[in-house]
């Protein structure tokens, strides 16, 4: 997917997207409610389908990648929970939106240029135009990362994980997103094309906080190096590297 001129174009534009992502992603996460007990709903039966991140950048491909990333994440976390004898309740909904305030989480309207996991209502919402722009500029790997990161917040909620500092919560979500992607690649359920790992790396370096951002601030997500380190630690070593307890 990173072949030739298109790959170079994406790299050049990555910084532009970066600013958006850094200021926006996961900005609104009004949480602080205990996880509900896991329900009995079972996800779709696991199939032998293989997802291929194949680098085209049409709207149809974007929608397909969102759906694939959701299915892959549900399947992955279901298997992880089952391995420890628990059932997994998939995140209730994935909601695309286009306008400021079109979607609310816990009474707080979600602004454009954002993607969030809403703990109180158990959904992921993403600005479809913003996400599609990032998808075209960074590459399709971005969609799998974005869904993986937000999905990880839903898993943290189910596990009752709540750190004192936002940055800890965010870096762990990056690690979990890395683990879900790395494990899926190792299991053969996700096939990456040449350049996808570079896209992850560039995307993560791009979404890191600015140097002046205090690590303890409410909206801190970690420095570019911290985010990339967390993601690839999970990618290479799986969930045991993510301090899930």
Binding mask 52-91 for Zn ion (x = CB under 5 A): ----------------------------------------
Query: What is the dihedral sign for C-alpha 102, 105, 111, 112?
Result: negative
Q: Which is nearer to Zn ion, 51 or 220 (CB)?
A: 220
- Smallest distance, Å, CB 193 to Zn ion? 26
Task: Write the DSSP symbol of residue 194.
Answer: T
In terms of CB distance, is 173 or 242 closer to Zn ion? Answer: 173
How far apart are CB 55 and Zn ion at their closest, in Å?
A: 26
Q: Provide the 8-state DSSP code for 36.
A: P
Give, as ranges, the residues between 22 and 41 that touch Zn ion (CB under 5 A): 26
Name, in order, each residue with C-beta under 8 angstroms of 116's C-beta and a sequence gap of 6 or more: 25, 26, 27, 28, 29, 105, 110, 124, 125, 126, 150
Shorter beta-carbon distance to Zn ion: residue 26 or 28: 26
**Token pair belonging to 33:** 């409610």
130, 24 Cβ separation under 8 angstroms: yes
Q: Cβ of residue 170: shortest distance to Zn ion, in angstroms?
A: 5
Radius of gyration (C-alpha) of the chain in whole angstroms: 17
CB of 59 to Zn ion, least distance (A): 25
Total residues interacting with Zn ion, rule: CB under 5 A: 3
Q: Interacting stretch for Zn ion, rule CB under 5 A, among 100-108, 130-138, 172-180, 181-189?
A: 172-180
Cα 152-132-178 angle, rounded to 5 deg: 25
Q: Tell me: does residue 125 bind Zn ion (CB under 5 A).
A: no
In the bound state, the residue with its beta carbon closest to Zn ion is: 26
For Zn ion, which stretch binds (CB under 5 A), given 18-26, 81-89, 138-146, 200-208?
18-26
Between CA 8 and CA 16 the distance in angstroms is 14
Strand 108-109 versus strand 104-105 pairing type: antiparallel
Structure tokens at 58: 């049409």
Residues within the interface to Zn ion (CB under 5 A): 26, 170, 173
């Amino acid at each position: 997917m990173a072949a030739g001129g298109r790959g170079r174009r994406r790299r050049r534009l990555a910084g532009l997207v970066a600013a958006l992502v850094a200021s926006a992603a996961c900005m609104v996460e009004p949480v602080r409610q205990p996880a509900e007990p896991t329900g009995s709903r079972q996800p779709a039966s696991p199939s032998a389908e293989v997802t291929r991140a194949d680098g085209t950048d049409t709207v149809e491909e974007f929608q397909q990648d969102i759906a694939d990333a959701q299915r892959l994440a549900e399947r992955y976390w279901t298997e992880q929970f089952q391995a420890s004898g628990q059932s997994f309740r998939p995140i209730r909904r994935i909601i695309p939106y286009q306008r400021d305030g079109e979607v609310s989480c816990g009474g707080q309207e979600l602004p454009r240029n954002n993607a969030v996991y809403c703990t109180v209502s158990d959904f992921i919402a993403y600005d479809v135009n913003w996400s599609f722009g990032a998808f075209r500029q960074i590459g399709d790997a971005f969609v799998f990362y974005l869904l993986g990161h937000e999905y990880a917040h839903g898993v943290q909620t189910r596990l009752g994980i709540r750190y004192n500092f936002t940055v800890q919560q965010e870096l762990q979500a990056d690690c979990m997103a890395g683990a879900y992607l790395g494990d899926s690649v190792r299991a053969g359920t996700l096939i990456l094309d040449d350049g996808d790992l570079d896209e992850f790396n560039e995307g993560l370096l791009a979404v890191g906080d600015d140097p002046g951002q205090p690590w303890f601030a409410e909206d801190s997500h970690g420095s570019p190096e911290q985010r990339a380190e967390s993601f690839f630690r999970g990618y290479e070593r799986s969930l045991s590297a993510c301090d899930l307890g």
